[in-house]
Copies of this chain bind each other. A is one copy, B any other.
Amino acid sequence: MESVITESARDAFDRIFHPRSVAIVGVSARGNVFGTGILSALKAIGFEGRLYAVNPKGGEYNGMKIYTGLSEIPEPIDFAIIAVPAERVPQALEECRLVGVAGAEILSAGFSELGTEAGSRLEQEIRDIASRGIRVVGPNCFGIYCPLSGLTLLPGPDLSRKSGPVGFVSQSGGMSIDFAHIGKWMGIGFSKVVSFGNGADLREIELLEYLGSDPETRVIAMYIEGVKDGRRFFRVLKEVAARKPVIVNKGGLTEAGARAVESHTASMGGSKRIWEAVLRQAGAVQVGDLWEMAQTCLAFSLLPPRVYGHITVAGGGGALGVSACDEAERYGLSIPPLDPEITEAILQHLPRPGSSAKNPIDAANPFVGPQAYREVFLNAAGDPRVDVQILIQLLHHYKSLSSAMGLTSPKEVAPYRQLADGMKEVADITGKPLMLVLPDFKQGMESMDIEEMIREARGIFLDRGIPVFDDLGDCLRALGHVSRYYAVRKARGL
């Protein structure tokens, strides 16, 4: 029953995502058009294949020849990027098809999303050409990002070239570029990102099938405004979600949202309650917005695939502990009181009075060091119920410390490198993952050094495979999603 894509379809996808040669149709000798923008972006990101500029007017751009037609290009083209005014798109696409291009992304807008007859007719022409043998991404989209080959979204000259396990399929271009940017610093590596816009040809179902069978993709995220064939989408989603986590953000679940969807990608929305039920039954993970999607992808990429029922939370600040407990319960997680012997052993490593180690573990002081936390987590992991451990670090306190010591930067005293090493060691020894929360309460102009420290620390923890969140609530919500997904799979015997 597994949904498989045909070998010829896979061949086409391979040529699309890993093209040896790309033609950009709509590069202007004058420069200031979308086509020129995507050409510059591909050069900036270091696309691995060969690039060809095309424009019927010919000419030259930045020392690069502009071909007047695709047939003039001296080698076969795998993938084309079309960025010409809407009314000229069908002809450009047909030209691509005639010279054997495997697929094209159409960045141009001005099709069915306009709600005009002319727009719909143009889009139907695209569909007709596609059906005769060329795959199409778009129109009205931001295209394809593939870190491995160096394809990038519009406008994405500075996206990461580091590949990773997350595949993202998005009806919205804005969402695709925003998520790709967020992933870069949040520590989410992408296999492929596809913004399919109006989805005249390729859209949610086929792209989901493809990512489901793509060995480079372990986690799938989707932003959907509307689907074309609900029944088939549900079947494919259920099938893929049985093998890989599929995280879905459905936009336009309300009346006003549906209206916005219509003028955005010309899709039909669908009721909130139906969507929630469908996603739950399919075993997919539903998220409410871009940030929740990113945090959830991060947790799925870095945590071992397991059910996480019981957690410990440690940090220097009691109220954080209290709200930890309240939020954990909201996401189906529990913070069990630790065994009294373990509690006693942990207390040996914390300052007295003021600290508490019943779980949440309140270190009472923001300067409790890496060695102490190492012991705290090693001991806490001794409780067989504990599945995962979370540390909250308020790094901004190190600024006061560095000032008091006459140092210029909080980075000189904040021991996050040792902390990261210690936490990685604990995770390796105990087999129970650790997560980190780095809240930033000081975001004024005078605290740019704290922000810089937090960003550097984030990178150091991510390098050691430890996911980092700004906020405890976000961390627990993402963990809850991971846990629930694997619990459902387990219950279904998958």
Q: Which residues of A contact B (CB under 8 A)?
A: 86, 109-110, 114, 155, 157-158, 172-175, 178, 181-182, 184-186, 223, 225, 251-261, 263-265, 288-291, 317-329, 334-337, 353-354, 356, 358-360, 362, 396, 400, 439, 441-448, 451-452, 455-456, 459, 471, 473
A412–B321 Cα distance when bound, in Å, is 43
Contact of A445 among B155, B317, B459 (CB under 8 A): B459
A288–B318 Cα distance when bound, in Å, is 16
Return chain B residues, CB-CB under 8 Å to A185.
Answer: 442-445, 447
Taking A260-B362, A443-B455 as known contacts, 16 extra A-B pairs with beta carbons closer than 8 A to each other, sorted by chain A number, are A109-B353, A110-B354, A173-B318, A174-B317, A181-B441, A185-B447, A256-B334, A256-B335, A257-B329, A259-B337, A260-B325, A264-B318, A264-B362, A289-B473, A290-B319, A444-B455
A483–B88 Cα distance when bound, in Å, is 49
Check B452–A260 contact: CB distance below 8 A: no
Check A448–B445 contact: CB distance below 8 A: no
Least Cβ distance of A406 to chain B in Å? 14
A329–B289 Cα distance when bound, in Å, is 14
Check A323–B445 contact: CB distance below 8 A: no
Return chain B residues, CB-CB under 8 Å to A336.
Answer: 256
Least Cβ distance of A252 to chain B in Å? 5
Contact status of A321 and B441, CB under 8 A, knowing A256-B334, A291-B471, A337-B259: no
Check A321–B471 contact: CB distance below 8 A: no
Return chain B residues, CB-CB under 8 Å to A157.
Answer: 400
Check B320–A174 contact: CB distance below 8 A: yes
Check A322–B441 contact: CB distance below 8 A: no
Contact of A319 among B158, B172, B258, B359 (CB under 8 A): B172
A86–B353 Cα distance when bound, in Å, is 10
Return chain B residues, CB-CB under 8 Å to A334.
Answer: 256
Contact status of A325 and B109, CB under 8 A, knowing A264-B318, A320-B174, A445-B452: no
